[in-house]
Structure 1
């Protein structure tokens, strides 16, 4: 029995040595599989005399099933440098109205004339 499936592949972050790409299924047996994204934004920790702001959008993930989202963005340029922010959100936290959000946290890449990193964290948009 063959079931037609469609979707798209995107590059993996390399954390799984068995796979180099991820697959997001957008249609299963002719039925659309809804996907969604979330916005994330915030301010990093204050380190080495400054902090940075950041904003971005998560990668798509399927709707209606347990899931996480990967994210990648850059901070603003402050003190003549910027940092990368990347990671995977926590699982969906359901809200009484049927929506959900994800928590995220981590550390930026090391950068700057005085090499350092910042912590960051928060909640995605609904």
Structure 2
């Protein structure tokens, strides 16, 4: 087991329902500040339709080479949705500062005619 010092904060999600939960926001990982990126796009057009998707990556350390895990659902189109998940490519640093990541993959299989869609894009800076 690896022990990595992590700081952050947690807050209670005040929702109606039978399950109680909390959100945890990590602010440092092994002494380094962390950050996230937004991502969004449109899947490939397959079986007569496409889907939109959007999300935020998991946190990763700032200032060093890194990747981010991501997870989201597509919009419901043609009465179904798909799961999108994966790991971004490494950080692509910009001369003026900042960076982005490229991502690509295939969705989960779903639909009355079982199928999947391809997706790809770049995260926000």
The two structures have a TM-score, normalised by structure 1, of 0.78
Equivalenced residue count is 105
Give CA-to-partner distance per residue, 1:101-125, whole Å, 9 cap, x none. 0000000000000000000000000
Residues 81/27 of structure 1: CA separation in 2 closer, same or farther (3 Å cut)? closer
| Shift, 1:26, TM fit | 2.2
Task: Tell me the C-alpha RMSD between the 2 structures.
Answer: 1.9
Residues 91/114 of structure 1: CA separation in 2 closer, same or farther (3 Å cut)? same
Give CA-to-partner distance per residue, 1:76-103, whole Å, 9 cap, x none. 0000000000000000001111110000
Structure 1 stretches of 4+ with a deviation exceeding 6 A read none
Segments of 5+ residues of structure 2 without an aligned counterpart are: 8-25
| Shift, 1:6, TM fit | 2.4
| Shift, 1:7, TM fit | 1.0
Establish whether residue 55 from structure 1 lines up as the match of residue 54 from structure 2.
yes
The two structures have a TM-score, normalised by structure 2, of 0.79
SS in 1 for 2:77: coil
Match of 1:104 in 2: 103
Segments of 5+ residues of structure 1 without an aligned counterpart are: 9-23
CA distance in 1, matches of 2:72, 2:87: 12
Residues 82/94 of structure 1: CA separation in 2 closer, same or farther (3 Å cut)? same
Residues 57/25 of structure 1: CA separation in 2 closer, same or farther (3 Å cut)? closer
Match of 1:92 in 2: 91
Establish whether residue 26 from structure 1 lines up as the match of residue 28 from structure 2.
yes
SS in 1 for 2:109: coil
Note if contact 1:5-1:25 (Cα within 8 Å) is conserved in structure 2.
no
